[in-house]
Structure 1
């Protein structure tokens, strides 16, 4: 190495690179363009510059080409999984490579490649107990022993397919713990008749028998003799036949107090004499000599999160984010064994049922290094088990519940998507725009590039959309239709993975009865299914709504709590194809007409304003010829335009 070269290496020959030492997200079929710029003083005509990556299956150096002062190389992501990349260069007369950070993998950038279907998918969340619950008799009340089952869901799979659903997500379907089981004191059933929360899990590798009653007698005439695992397998098989993937819920922050392994592994839990106290001291194993109840399931501490106690659950001791106590909590001496057990759970369902993905409850309270291991191992395991396990693609996806905690860290740990507080931002244009600017890295660099979000107007954790927006008027059918129509158009057309919750299409307004039985009135004339089918068909047909760039469009109403129109563009430019532009206008005001509201397009829209253009409303097939940057919009309360811009 000559003196000039040595000095340049010392001052850093790499001026910038893409990607840097960070995580970027892609899906299979995407092209990754690697770029780097080196110091001008180098003899570029004598340099060999490579991107060093395993994205093609094994580590290999790919020679980059100099264009406009920047070295570039393009690789198509044909495989899903986790890959790494860095840069290196050498003089063509020397064998010594100069690395960006060094040849150690821990310093490389990470590239996470997820299955392409995730951008194209609409999710339906079925809470089995409520989805199939039947109202019996003139009273309209549920009858004992008539909880919703897998067969009820199987019966409605064709309806879900018509709605454009490609992923079926199930809340927990496992046996529920009995110790400190929670109940609804205002329920029509007494406490001892209520099943409790499915998030208080007694056995992760078993099925709740109530969900698996053989209602269609596929296993013979005696429903009581049915095998719960066979019933679940039948549901998955029928869903897969229709091209619908099935996701399960993983609840790893806590178990039920009487968890099946609690006696065998008491050290996996935390113990206090007051199990709902942040001040009470932790009990240690050696305190047994003093008569303290370490290891007693009745004294397993409850989880405490965001100001709430979950008294029907027992906090697992992950040696991570432990709730406060008068003293320090004891360390879990068999944490590695606990990691191994919990990593085995998704593998179990992948192997035996061909499960396609997992939504991970309270993911931010479980160690990130556990998630990295669990996700990586599960994805590799799923590829090996496919197709003998009956899965559709051999890929498995993990989605994290997060709200506001550790979103970036969870995405970097390997989650395909996270979900936060989108549902609670659907009140006004002001709150929604601010949140989307945050989600999409518009107002700052908060998340890895191309991060994905799981979005929905309502779920089991939040009040119903109609109740949220209408309060005491949530029973009003006209207003409920406006509320759900407007919020579904937004959810289905902004970037993200949109989800329909259990009964949203039936304008359900009663709160989710997490601890007892409830039902959906499928025969009610309160029904948005046809409208949702229309919106979902538009989304499934137009790739710009699946993966196009999001650009907010300003109006003369400004961005305030009283603004009516939420307006934005989705723009997709693909090599060799004509640019696709979709303009979405939603009147978020469900009481008042938006009359002659001006929207202001600009050069970011991709429209050539020197020419006329056509706005083709995909919701009603009406066409409007326009010119210029300003457009006047008229929309009835809660209504929308989804314009395809044709030029």
Structure 2
């Protein structure tokens, strides 16, 4: 005979705990939430038979000794839920437990027998035993009250129904719920959660090259960036991102427009990091000093702006690492170090680190220390260059290591790569990520892509950040579409995603000439100094300011919950957003054809708008400052991109007061 299978030790635990949410890849990675946001935990509790079940949610911040516990509440189809609000950033953990509630099962069963006119004298004794056991688990006044209830249930001089009425009263049941029998409870695995600061969910980024912030023809400094802060603040941006600020190598330095030969005045690419003056922990002498960087952080923060620095883990041939740690780089058969390539592109001025080298542990430690060094200077946001070309396991370790001391740190992944790899980076710890927004154009493309990004399981770990342009990307529609397209893409980026950014001043000044054969700017700041007339009359500064103010003042734009509304015109994209408390509701209609006027009907999803379909309501076009009265299942819009390529409506619902007056919210 074959050997008998081992009998499970938990055989008496009848409750199965299934489908716990939120969890990512079965709990391998933490889900992400925001400080102050209500965190909804769900699970399925299922057991044989018809017994009453109960459960609890236990949670704590990782490192705390004590757990907090709250009851699970049952719903439809054996689904149970509970909620809590984390009060600090960092990593939290939670687990759920389920068990058969023998007392409530007894209480319900005996009540039915009494309703049927049956004698319950014996059944009440079972309740007395359950009460006595609970009294032993309790203490103080609770134990005394439960013991008295047990004694009353055993009093044979009283009728069974009377004894039951006391032992099954609401007050006794409440005490029993406080002291349940969990000896055979089933506990789920422990799942982790990363709680990030509010800026991780809602932010407006402005990218600028500090070396182009100076007077015409002169190399800008970090002090010049401080002088530029009022401009950035006036447009409503709350993150200022600077490309690498480190010394730039001279060997194989690239010239203007990425030419292979640099002249004596060429400044080189900031991503060719490292020279005799220092490496990743140094500031380019022409930009200033580390003290200047700290001053910039302080002044920016005083204006409500956080400084974001670029983390580019690569080195120029002149980086001190190359001489001090040649073991961190890959060598070709001829003994030379392998430079970066992306055929047909060659980056002779950049050496990638070899994450498979024998000295990988010392490499990891040093690279993590680069991030913590800048954290010590006050920086809390990092845009990471090409993270998908570095070890995923490194990022998981590095980000956790940084957040161990600085849990409020935000990491943005500049990863234009395969969706699975972009998602893997987010699971490894990146707070936000660049996306494919730049290459989405049609109503179908936007609807499909945003639906994917804004719903579980993706939304549990991935936060998109939409950019219409970057120093590397000048898309074709910006090259040829004119002012209308710039405004259209600004509104799409800023309203579809709660996190967005622009590369300026080229964006607000509508720079649109590309380098021949490339989808990037000619005379690119990546390779040369530029001077920008930020006070130009045709600047988009005013519309950017207005859009950022609308985003800031309407909480519906502060996260990525989104509903698409059907339109009868393929050139009209319509979507709404609603804040978690339902107080803020917005509806956006965008003309995707920046060259022609389009009109059409919107099929309104009244449920998404929080509107009674029988009531009229007001919408306020926040871009044109116009108001309209709508009623019924459809609404008509007409959008001329030459005037404004979109309408952003605040939905104002009618409220009836006790005095029968009506007003709009």
**Corresponding position of 1:83:** 92
Distance 1:35 1:422 in 2: 32
Q: Does 1:364 align with 2:388?
A: yes
* TM-aligned CA deviation for residue 318 of structure 1: 0.4
Distance 1:541 1:242 in 2: 17
Distance 1:630 1:340 in 2: 59
> Aligned with 2:323: secondary structure?
coil
> Compared with structure 1, are the counterparts of its residues 115 and 58 closer, same or farther at alpha carbon in structure 2 (3 Å cutoff)?
farther
Q: Does 1:209 align with 2:285?
A: yes
Q: Deviations over 1:58-102 (max 9, x none)?
A: 45262423423444322111111122323334565564653324x
**Corresponding position of 2:634:** 630
> Compared with structure 1, are the counterparts of its residues 620 and 74 closer, same or farther at alpha carbon in structure 2 (3 Å cutoff)?
same
**Corresponding position of 1:620:** 624
> Aligned with 2:322: secondary structure?
coil
Instruction: Please point out which of 468, 473, 494 is paired with 1:462.
Output: 473
Distance 1:95 1:246 in 2: 52
Which ranges of structure 1 fall in alignment gaps of 5 or more residues? 102-107, 136-142, 213-227, 273-282, 284-291, 294-298, 320-331, 384-394, 474-478
**Corresponding position of 2:268:** 196
**Corresponding position of 1:401:** 414
**1:179–1:256 Cα contact (<8 Å) kept:** yes
**1:271–1:301 Cα contact (<8 Å) kept:** yes
Distance 2:228 2:257 in 1: 32
Distance 1:557 1:492 in 2: 23
> Compared with structure 1, are the counterparts of its residues 174 and 60 closer, same or farther at alpha carbon in structure 2 (3 Å cutoff)?
same
Instruction: Please point out which of 192, 204, 208 is paired with 1:110.
Output: 192
Q: Deviations over 1:325-362 (max 9, x none)?
A: xxxxxxx22111111100001111111x2002101111
**Corresponding position of 2:46:** 39
**Corresponding position of 1:375:** 399
Structure 1 runs (4+) greater than 6 angstroms displaced: none
**2:61–2:91 Cα contact (<8 Å) kept:** no
Q: Does 1:309 align with 2:309?
A: no
**2:55–2:96 Cα contact (<8 Å) kept:** no
Query: Between Structure 1 and Structure 2, how many residues are aligned?
Result: 543
Distance 1:470 1:495 in 2: 20
Distance 1:244 1:78 in 2: 23
**2:12–2:184 Cα contact (<8 Å) kept:** no
**2:59–2:92 Cα contact (<8 Å) kept:** no
> Compared with structure 1, are the counterparts of its residues 160 and 14 closer, same or farther at alpha carbon in structure 2 (3 Å cutoff)?
same
* TM-aligned CA deviation for residue 375 of structure 1: 1.5
Instruction: Please point out which of 196, 221, 244 is paired with 2:305.
Output: 244
Instruction: Please point out which of 567, 572, 589 is paired with 1:555.
Output: 567
* TM-aligned CA deviation for residue 172 of structure 1: 0.5
> Compared with structure 1, are the counterparts of its residues 37 and 334 closer, same or farther at alpha carbon in structure 2 (3 Å cutoff)?
same
Instruction: Please point out which of 496, 503, 506 is paired with 2:509.
Output: 506
* TM-aligned CA deviation for residue 446 of structure 1: 6.0
* TM-aligned CA deviation for residue 399 of structure 1: 1.1
Distance 1:42 1:173 in 2: 67
> Compared with structure 1, are the counterparts of its residues 419 and 306 closer, same or farther at alpha carbon in structure 2 (3 Å cutoff)?
farther
**1:411–1:448 Cα contact (<8 Å) kept:** no
> Aligned with 1:62: secondary structure?
strand
Q: Does 1:530 align with 2:542?
A: yes
**Corresponding position of 2:434:** 419
**Corresponding position of 1:643:** 649
TM-score normalized by structure 2?
Answer: 0.76
Higher Cα Rg: structure 1 or 2? 2
Report which stretch shifted further, 336-345 or 56-65. Answer: 56-65
Distance 2:573 2:192 in 1: 36
> Compared with structure 1, are the counterparts of its residues 55 and 71 closer, same or farther at alpha carbon in structure 2 (3 Å cutoff)?
farther
Q: Deviations over 1:129-187 (max 9, x none)?
A: 23x1544xxxxxxx3xx122222221121121121111111110101112222223688
**Corresponding position of 1:221:** none
Which ranges of structure 2 fall in alignment gaps of 5 or more residues? 1-6, 101-179, 514-520, 654-665
Distance 1:78 1:44 in 2: 36
**2:255–2:527 Cα contact (<8 Å) kept:** yes
Q: Does 1:583 align with 2:583?
A: no
Distance 2:349 2:390 in 1: 19
> Compared with structure 1, are the counterparts of its residues 43 and 258 closer, same or farther at alpha carbon in structure 2 (3 Å cutoff)?
farther
* TM-aligned CA deviation for residue 642 of structure 1: 0.7
> Compared with structure 1, are the counterparts of its residues 243 and 569 closer, same or farther at alpha carbon in structure 2 (3 Å cutoff)?
same
* TM-aligned CA deviation for residue 619 of structure 1: 1.4
* TM-aligned CA deviation for residue 583 of structure 1: 0.6
**2:31–2:193 Cα contact (<8 Å) kept:** yes
**Corresponding position of 1:104:** none
Q: Deviations over 1:210-251 (max 9, x none)?
A: 222xxxxxxxxxxxxxxx222222222211221211110001
Q: Does 1:125 align with 2:211?
A: no
**2:437–2:468 Cα contact (<8 Å) kept:** yes
Q: Deviations over 1:456-479 (max 9, x none)?
A: 11011101x6xx3254x5xxxxx6
Report 1:127-276 matches (<5 A).
Answer: 127-130=209-212, 132-135=213-216, 143=217, 146-184=218-256, 191-202=263-274, 203-212=279-288, 228-252=289-313, 254-272=314-332
